[in-house]
Chain A
């Protein structure tokens, strides 16, 4: 089992009645912040991530949210590059895992290729490259991309990026969404095959693409793993069977919010209010229509969700969810080290999860408590999980070679867009300048 520390950078000092008056994305008035609060929220977030690197996590994972009060990271590569440099300087063998430069949002895909390549060089070959398709509100409201173009744009940008890493000669890109007379990035990644991961919420098409194309698939269990996990993970492995790829647990990443303290009682006492803050004022305050803009979800997917919104688990109640409801739904796992490791071990073994992303900083959690959570998890939980798949035959093909992985190349396969025409212009047409 590989275990990463995942964190977002929420603004930690929102008013108590924030969620009664504001949304957490796009329209949140910046006047609710103050200068010191912004500085400490971001500075502590960086320090917590470095603590993760120093306490032996296998990877450090962050992601991207534009114009958001619950994650003030507009570009994960800013964070990842700082971590790449510092961990290299300290000799820490930890994967740098930006889960997302959203390629459905990106208007400068070659720049994304350049940034990731630079991080791989800075880290000495420790990049794990995450590419979410793109949150609707972020790609479309924050960045002006028509919702129905998010997936086609992702497809084109991903092909261009992979080619920009791979091709030895400059080439011309004549695409639907971008055109470049010469693509010839410097530097290229140190790794011959940087592992590629896609983050999704359960769309079968996205899963099929990951399985056919040798990408890792991350499921972020914001909506309550106990409500959604069986649906999502069973679906993933059934599609794996259909596609004909082995049920290798390492290709499945699972993100879980976790709070550890000395005892179950103390964990609730210390973390409950901060967890409620995190989900009520964060995810719970994203309006539903911003997560599902017309055109962004395939028409058959809309029909399925209208009839059965189960993939969204606790989301519709999250704005007022209590600590107990969050725990009961599996949105969070909170308790003593024994409680937490028992639940995680059972969960990961049951669903075939080989890459765990532990979210240990959240909501209004102050620096000291976040540090405690990370330290306790690293010392008393993670060591008891690492052996989970050690007696299996599977190898981790989605992890950097320097860190014990055995990365294998991306393969051809399904795109993210249902029903999209193939474009002859995106075929390989390398030219020598």
Chain B
């Protein structure tokens, strides 16, 4: 285990060998208390203030999706199917020794969180889904963020791309080499996660959601242009035990665009 940051919270990184040695999953860990598994969105893991807030009350474990870890892009080629990914994440949880963690997932990570906890109903204590993808209705299409021109992404992801949260997430490094590497990493992350959602982000999750029986909190931006807020009712229809918080003036990433309200909703649900 290596310490990679010394400011509050202290973030450490652990490499977890899984999949019969074919994959090394990097997991960032911070905080203290009951375990919390965080599954990042399609663009990869960014340790943001939301995770730091969670780390005040929980030990946050944030694994990086195969292919999205720095220096190991071709790991994605070791994984063929969504069902493999579900098994891999279960193996990560088991190898880390996490007992009944809270599972939180955002967008693509929300779909993974739902798949994981539907496949393993005993795995989690509670589940939080932040604007998850995974369901599909023809009259309520999920936006194709992978094929969206980069210049149009901010307006797709945020209610107000000029707001402070959005700006902090969209900022690029000044150094052109570092900026190019960051761009390439994000593009490759979209490609790696896209392997399991292209061409339509629906892998039959609806038929499995009834197996997710622990309490679920849905947090949704009312102005989400990627996954429209109409999906809240769709999820609640399938889930056995759910509640929803819809945040006004908020797009697809509530924990960045409306951090305080998201933290309040999550803390209330977890307490």
Contacts and interface: CB of A to CB of B under 8 A. Distances in A.
Interface of A: 140-141, 144-149, 152, 176, 287-290, 293-297, 299-300, 302-303, 306-307, 417-421
Nearest to B81: A176
Given A294-B194, A295-B146, A303-B180, 7 more contacts: A148-B76, A296-B191, A297-B187, A300-B184, A303-B184, A418-B74, A421-B22
A68 B51 CA distance: 46
Given A290-B147, A294-B190, A417-B77, A303 B181 contact: yes
B74 A420 contact: yes
Given A289-B149, A417-B77, A146 B194 contact: yes
Interface string B41-81: 00000000000000000000000000000000110111010
A297 B73 CA distance: 12
B184 A293 contact: no
A295 B76 CA distance: 10
B176 interface: yes
A147 B196 CA distance: 11
Contacts of A144: 198-199
Contact of B80 (A141, A176, A296): A176
Contacts of B195: 146, 148-149, 295
A360 to B, nearest CB: 34
B74 A419 contact: yes
A289 B188 contact: no
Contact of B176 (A297, A307, A420, A421): A307
B139 interface: no
Interface string B4-37: 0000000000000000001000000000000000
Given A141-B147, A295-B192, A307-B177, A147 B198 contact: yes
Nearest to A292: B187
B147 A293 contact: yes
Contacts of A302: 183-184, 187-188
Contacts of B199: 140-141, 144, 146
Contacts of B207: none
Contacts of B189: 294
B194 A299 contact: no
Contacts, number: 83
Contact of B77 (A293, A296, A300, A421): A421
Contacts of B183: 302-303, 306
A293 B146 contact: yes
Interface string B162-203: 000000000000001101110111011111101110110000
A146 B198 contact: yes
A289 B147 contact: yes
A234 B249 CA distance: 54
B97 interface: no
Contacts of A288: 149
Nearest to B177: A307
Contacts of A176: 80
A299 B76 CA distance: 12
A373 B209 CA distance: 63
B148 interface: yes
B76 A294 contact: no
Which residue of A152, A287, A288, A307 has the most chain B CB atoms within 10 A of its CB atom?
A307
24 contacts: A146-B194, A148-B76, A287-B149, A288-B149, A289-B147, A289-B148, A289-B149, A294-B146, A294-B188, A294-B189, A294-B190, A295-B146, A295-B190, A295-B191, A299-B185, A299-B187, A300-B184, A302-B187, A302-B188, A306-B179, A306-B183, A418-B74, A420-B74, A421-B78
A147 B194 contact: yes
A299 B188 contact: yes
B77 A419 contact: yes
Nearest to B144: A141
A419 B189 CA distance: 15
Nearest to B189: A294
A148 B192 contact: yes
A307 B147 CA distance: 21
Given A294-B188, A294-B191, A294-B194, A289 B77 contact: no
Contacts of A141: 147, 199
A27 to B, nearest CB: 11
B74 A289 contact: no
A130 to B, nearest CB: 26
B186 to A, nearest CB: 8
A148 B146 CA distance: 11
Nearest to B185: A299
A293 to B, nearest CB: 6
A418 B188 CA distance: 13
B142 to A, nearest CB: 15
Which residue of B80, B146, B149 has the most chain A CB atoms within 10 A of its CB atom?
B146
A93 B118 CA distance: 63
A289 B191 contact: no
Contacts of B180: 303, 306-307
Contacts of A287: 149
A147 B191 CA distance: 7
A125 to B, nearest CB: 38
Interface string B82-114: 000000000000000000000000000000000
B184 A299 contact: yes
B187 A294 contact: yes
Contacts of B184: 299-300, 302-303, 306
Contacts of B22: 421
The 4 closest A-B pairs by CB, nearest first: A295-B191, A419-B74, A294-B190, A303-B184
